[in-house]
Amino acid sequence: MKLALRALFLLVLCFGLTTLNAQHDTDDHGHASELTEQDSGAHGSEAAYDPVGTVMHHIADANEFHILGHYSIPLPVILYAPEHGFKFGLSSMFDHGHEAVDGYVLNHGRVNRVADPSFPSGHVHLSGEHPIHEDVVTVDGKKKDVAYLMHDGKKYMLDKPSTLDGGVLGGGITSFYDFSITKNVFTMLLATILLFIIFSIVARGYKKNEGKAPSGLQSFMEPIFVFIRDEVSRPMIGEKHYERFQPFVMALFFFILFCNLLGLIPFFPGSSNVTGNLGVTMALAVIVFIVTNLNGKKDYWEHIFWMPGVPVFVKPVLAVVEILGLFIKPFSLMIRLFANISAGHIIILSLIGLVFVFGENGTNVGGAATGAFVGGLFTAFMNLIELLVAFLQAFIFSMLAASYIGAAVEEHDHHDESHAVDHHHGGAHAEAVAHH
């Protein structure tokens, strides 16, 4: 009973803290409310609550950690513009979007740069409650989100940081590059440090308790090590090669797990949506792709380009399918992790938003209480589900990575072509398990 009460207390505390953070995003430096400022006349000086803007702001990366109200923890910014060189500092120098520094401003928590060279350099105070605005324009028949700031009655367009997606994900090369320590980068570094400390303690425990029963943190971690070895690496990669790739599979599992768990903490140093970021999941998928194909055996490539045991006229068609599969596999890894983690965060934040939707932005106390009760219950339930998903997605990602590696390193017996073909597609079973 005491354990259940403590768990309930922690869930209520997490709900309350997340609610406060959500309310924070309707304040001055959240800028989420500026999209519905036209509705503010009915509610005095308070802008209407924008659920979509608030949720998207929460799951997006940022150059600072919002704490409460006007308080935040700044993060280091490292900016580079080819014509001006590097710019170093802390995100606090932008005063939550009310101060421009050498043409750089903070927009929705991320650094943007004024594209117009006529904008004054140095520190420039931006007047007005919301000096930065966003709009949707049509370029070449496509709608595009643009941001601009108003200064001295003039509109200045803003550039977002350059990205390497070539515009596929909405980015591209702009006038500057952002190498800053953002929330996601900070959380990844924190997860790495925590894993290093934990693994160091466990390693010392193995040396100290050699030949003895494990104790302390070692006894807690050992069942997880054994589970990953016996249920992921050994069956997916095979007895002959699994020990070689065991450290890689373990690193994938624990890194993703710790990033997921830190993302469930609604306050500093958590709250980042690391594995719900396409850039992060793409990097992990590319690493798996490289490791898999660099270790591919002769049989692996033969089954891709000239599959044995198949009629010659069918082989070119199958080769095209297999080559596409080389890229579809990491793509599915990237999308699966990103979609599952982002969906969980969006659902939880949407449920918390019921407090402000039912409360009509503070004018309906009864509605707010109803929203808090309904949203609180569902949020507590979703937090438990998300805790399970954090472990499950780490397991699925590492299992699929191990299955791809296993298919690449396995040496087939061509005297049994059907067995070879079946093993080459052995990852299909893992894909089916992950899908369900």
Name the E strands within 51-170: 64-68, 71-74, 76-81, 85-90, 99-101, 104-107, 110-114, 123-125, 132-139, 142-151, 154-159
* Contact in structure between 102 and 85 (CB atoms under 8 Å): no
Residue 189, pLDDT score = 94
Q: Nearest-CA neighbor of 67 among 128, 20, 106?
A: 20
> Within its chain, how far is the Cα of 196 from the centroid?
21
Residue 64, pLDDT score = 85
Number of CB atoms found within 10 A of residue 61's CB: 19
For the chain (436 residues), the mean pLDDT of every run of 10, in chain order, is: 39 38 39 40 49 69 78 88 89 85 86 86 82 76 78 85 65 84 92 93 85 80 90 89 90 93 82 86 93 87 81 82 88 90 80 66 61 69 83 92 89 51 49 54
Six-digit token string for 231: 């249920």
Task: Read off the pLDDT of residues 50-78 as tens digits, 9 standing for 90 and up.
Answer: 666 666 667 778 888 877 767 788 899 99
Provide, rounded to the nearest whole percent, the portion of the chain with pLDDT above 90. Answer: 18
Residue 30, pLDDT score = 40
Q: Give me the residue label for tokens 């440090």.
A: 193
Task: Please give the Cα distance from 129 to 131 (Å, whole number).
Answer: 6
Residue 256, pLDDT score = 94
Residue 154, pLDDT score = 85
* Contact in structure between 232 and 395 (CB atoms under 8 Å): yes
Residue 270, pLDDT score = 75
Number of CB atoms found within 10 A of residue 390's CB: 23
13-23: b (≥16 Cβ within 10 Å) or e: ebbebbbbbbb
